Chain A
Amino acid sequence: MVYPTNLVFNPKSSTMMHIDLNSCFATVEQQANPLLRGKPIAIAAYTTPSGCILAPSVEAKEHGIKTGMRVRDGKLLYPGLIVLPTDPEKYRNVHVSLRKILRDYTNDFTPKSIDEFVLSFDGYPILAKNSMRQIAEQIKQRIKDEIGEWLTVSVGIAPNRFLAKLASNLRKPDGLDEINKSNFLEIYSKITLTDLSGIKARNAARLAYAGIYSVTDFYKADIRTLKAAFSSINGYYWYLRLRGWEIDDFEFGRKSYGNSYALPKPLITPEELSPILSKLVEKMGSRLRRADYKARGIHVSIVYRDWSFWHKGISFPKVLFDSRDIYKKAFKIMCSAPYKKPVRELAVSCFNLLKSDFSQLELFEDVIKKESLVKAIDRVNEYWGDFIIIPARMVNAKGAVPDRIAFGGVKELEEFINNH
Chain B
Amino acid sequence: MIQKISAPVSVSFTFDSKKRKIFPKWIVWSGRLYPVVKIGLHHTYRQGRILYHVFSVTSKNLFFRLVLNTESLHWKLEEISDGLPD
Chain A residues at the B interface, C-beta cutoff of 8 Å: 28, 31-36, 39, 79-82, 84, 89-90, 93-94, 148, 381-386, 388
Which secondary structure dominates chain B's binding surface? strand
Q: Give CA–CA (A148, B38) in the complex, Å.
A: 12
Q: Are A35 and B43 in contact (CB under 8 A)?
A: no
B interface residues (Cβ-Cβ under 8 A, vs A): 2, 38, 40-41, 43-45, 47-50, 54, 56, 58, 61-63, 81-86
Give the complex CA separation of A384 and B50 in angstroms.
Answer: 8
- CB of A53 to closest CB in B, whole Å: 15
Cβ–Cβ contact A36 & B49, under 8 A: no
Q: Whole-angstrom distance from the CB of A279 to the nearest CB of chain B?
A: 17
B40 close to A34 (CB less than 8 A): yes
- In whole Å, how far is B62's beta carbon from the nearest beta carbon of chain A? 8
B45, B50, B63, B86: the one within 8 Å of A89 (CB): B45
**At the interface, is chain A mostly helix, strand, loop or mixed?**
helix
Q: Report A-chain residues with C-beta under 8 Å of the C-beta of B54.
A: 89-90
Contact B63 A35 (CB under 8 A): yes
**Are B49 and A148 touching (Cβ within 8 A)?**
no
Q: Which of B38, B45, B48, B83 contacts A36 (CB 8 A)?
A: B83
Q: How far is the CB of A46 from chain B (nearest CB, A)?
A: 15
Is A35 a contact of B41 with CB atoms below 8 Å? no
With A89-B43, A93-B43, A383-B48 already in contact, the answer to whether A35 and B85 are too (CB < 8 A) is no
Q: Is there an interface contact between B45 and A384, defined as CB atoms closer than 8 Å?
A: no
A35, A384, A386: the one contacting B61 at CB < 8 Å is: A35
Inter-chain CA distance A35–B54, complex, in Å, is: 17
Cβ contacts under 8 Å, A33 to chain B:
40, 56, 58, 63, 81, 83
Contact (Cβ within 8 A) B85 A32: no
In the assembled complex, the CB of B57 is this many whole angstroms from the nearest CB of chain A, namely: 9
Is A90 within 8 A of B81, CB to CB?
Answer: no
A383 with B49: CB separation less than 8 A: yes
Q: Does A31 contact B40, Cβ atoms closer than 8 Å?
A: yes
Kindly state the separation between the CA atoms of A89 and B63 in the bound complex, as whole angstroms.
19
Q: A141 to nearest B CB, angstroms?
A: 18
Select which of B38, B44, B50, B82 is within 8 A of A34 by beta carbon.
Answer: B38
Is B38 touching A81 in the complex (CB atoms < 8 A)? no
Contact A148 B63 (CB under 8 A): no
| Interface pairs (10), CB distance under 8 Å | A32-B56, A33-B83, A34-B38, A34-B63, A35-B81, A36-B81, A84-B2, A93-B44, A384-B49, A385-B47
Min C-beta distance of A380 to chain B, whole Å = 9
Known: A28-B41, A31-B41, A148-B41. A384 touches B48 (CB 8 A): yes
